[in-house]
Structure 1
Amino acid sequence: MKLDILAFGVHPDDIELGCSGTIIAALAEGKTVGIADLTQGELGTRGTAETRKTEAANAAAIMGVTIRENLQMADGFFQNDEAHQRKVIQVIRKYQPEIILCNAPEDRHPDHGRSARLVSDAAFLSGLRKIETIQDGIAQEAWRPKYVFHYIQDRFIQPSFVVDITPYHDQKIKAILAYTTQFNSPGTQEPQTYISSPQFLDTVKARALMLGKRIGVQYAEGFISEKVLGVSSFDAFIQNVT
């Protein structure tokens, strides 16, 4: 199945936190969207690989995403090398997305920046026809997406553009809360973590409010583009005045 957008996250819940509002908005517009998680989040302090798998499926259902794969790379220890790049290339060629969304290029968690570089490099290499990959016994065709966009995560990075997610913000929060082992789960015997307090979700909402204010809407998500974005006419701005 060819996709319009393929979103990569190194851990299950990265996508929900960083770009799920944009994904829900794209689905509402009739776009086809899939998700690929690189790891199972097995090194997370709370929960297990099994619980994260269930939570990721529940979150995908809340977002309305029907395609979600896990590449089962080693949480914390995957590398941006040929073996891992080939795994990402296979997924890109399988779904042939026009747009890739992936982790922040620099962030508090070192996996995030490493994942961003891995996916970005693989997206370029995927367009080289002399790199051969096989899917279900069949040679894959070369494919390079038109754009690679990085969503903003814990640390603030000046966005290249922002997306209005106002109608879908509540749905985004529900998708995040599908990770019941990770976020604001009172009564658990698991240790508190950086992301498990109610205040952490407050910062997610505050970021969306702040980015929304910058374009005159209530809630928004920000993205960093790897290349300059162009328009063919000022109509692109006039038609989107808010």
Structure 2
Amino acid sequence: MKLDILAFGAHPDDVELGCGATVAKEVANGKKVGIIDLTRGELGTRGTAETRDEESSEAAKLLNIAMRTNMEFADGFFVNDQSHQIELIKEIRKYRPEIVLCNAIDDRHIDHARASKLVSDACFLSGLRKIDTKHEDEDGWQEPWRPKAVYHYIQWKDLEPDVVVDVTGFIEKKMEAVLAYKTQFFDPDSREPETPISSKNFTDSIIYRARNAGRLIGTEYGEGFTVERYPAVDSLFDLK
């Protein structure tokens, strides 16, 4: 299955929080979008790996994406080395995305920046012909494939975006997908320990941060991304 966009997250819920509205918008526009979670979030303070599996499956249904899978790397301890890169190269070559979305380049959680660099490096290496890979779901050797662009969504830290996507009309779908992770976010009846993302303030921040990103581009809601290389346009009039 060839995808238009392949979104990576260090943990289940990273993609929903970072670019869920963008994913929903592109799916509504007819694009094939998939999500790959690097870990099961097994070190999370609230919930379990099993509940995160269930929640990520429900979020995928709400976003109507084409596929979702989990690499089952070690939460908190995966590294950017050859073995992890090769596993991601296999997935990139399998799905051949035009665009890759991935974690923030700098963030509070140490997994986020690590995942950001791991995915970015794998995207580059995936285009090298002398790296041979086979995927268990495919016959024969895989062909090289390098996505046209890698965009990093913004997470806990308010990094200055290079690109802001107008997601007006899709913030509700984003919130539905985020709140599918019932164990992770605000629940006044929960007896689980409090975390930085379990407060009502954090849930509210998803909306007001999207409003602020929209303000930057003159729309109601936006989602920001940082880029690795300059975006190219044919004309200045292609820029809004």
TM-score bracket for this pair, using the shorter chain length: over 0.9
Question: 2 CA distance for matches of 1:164 and 1:64?
Answer: 19
1:12-51 to structure 2, matched below 5 A, reads 12-51=12-51
Q: Report the AA paired with residue 54 of structure 1.
A: E
Unaligned runs of 5+ in 2: none
Q: What residue in structure 2 maps to residue 180 of structure 1?
A: 182
Question: 1 CA distance for matches of 2:105 and 2:7?
Answer: 15
Question: 1 CA distance for matches of 2:186 and 2:140?
Answer: 45
CA drift at 1:186: 2.2
CA drift at 1:138: 2.1
Question: 2 CA distance for matches of 1:189 and 1:230?
Answer: 50
Q: Report the AA paired with residue 140 of structure 1.
A: Q
* 2:173 is equivalent to residue 171 of structure 1: yes
CA drift at 1:235: 2.8
Contact 2:46–2:183, Cα closer than 8 Å, also in 1: yes
CA drift at 1:206: 1.3
Which string of whole-angstrom CA distances, capped at 9 and with x for unpartnered residues, describes residues 202-238 of structure 1? 111111010100111111000001001111112313x
CA drift at 1:4: 0.5
Question: 1 CA distance for matches of 2:202 and 2:190?
Answer: 17
SS at match of 1:138: coil
Question: 2 CA distance for matches of 1:235 and 1:206?
Answer: 30
Q: Report the AA paired with residue 119 of structure 2.
A: V
Q: What residue in structure 2 maps to residue 70 of structure 1?
A: 70
Question: 1 CA distance for matches of 2:230 and 2:124?
Answer: 16
SS at match of 1:222: strand
Q: What residue in structure 2 maps to residue 117 of structure 1?
A: 117
Which string of whole-angstrom CA distances, capped at 9 and with x for unpartnered residues, describes residues 74-111 of structure 1? 00000000000011101100000000000000000010
Question: 1 CA distance for matches of 2:169 and 2:207?
Answer: 14
Question: 2 CA distance for matches of 1:64 and 1:185?
Answer: 25
* 2:16 is equivalent to residue 7 of structure 1: no
Question: 1 CA distance for matches of 2:232 and 2:128?
Answer: 24
Which string of whole-angstrom CA distances, capped at 9 and with x for unpartnered residues, describes residues 44-82 of structure 1? 000011000000000111111130010000000000000
* 2:137 is equivalent to residue 105 of structure 1: no
Q: Report the AA paired with residue 128 of structure 1.
A: L
Alignment size in residue pairs? 238
SS at match of 2:106: coil
CA drift at 1:188: 1.9
SS at match of 1:121: helix
Which string of whole-angstrom CA distances, capped at 9 and with x for unpartnered residues, describes residues 153-193 of structure 1? 00011111100111000110111000000001222221111
Q: Report the AA paired with residue 131 of structure 1.
A: I
* 2:150 is equivalent to residue 148 of structure 1: yes
Q: Could you tell me the TM-score, scaled by structure 2's length?
A: 0.97
Q: Report the AA paired with residue 222 of structure 1.
A: G
Question: 1 CA distance for matches of 2:66 and 2:143?
Answer: 24
Contact 2:33–2:67, Cα closer than 8 Å, also in 1: yes
Q: Report the AA paired with residue 102 of structure 2.
A: C
Q: What residue in structure 2 maps to residue 92 of structure 1?
A: 92
Identity of aligned residues (%): 55
SS at match of 2:170: helix
Which string of whole-angstrom CA distances, capped at 9 and with x for unpartnered residues, describes residues 21-62 of structure 1? 000000111111000000000000000110000000001111
Q: What residue in structure 1 maps to residue 202 of structure 2?
A: 200
Q: Could you tell me the TM-score, scaled by structure 1's length?
A: 0.97
Question: 2 CA distance for matches of 1:113 and 1:169?
Answer: 25
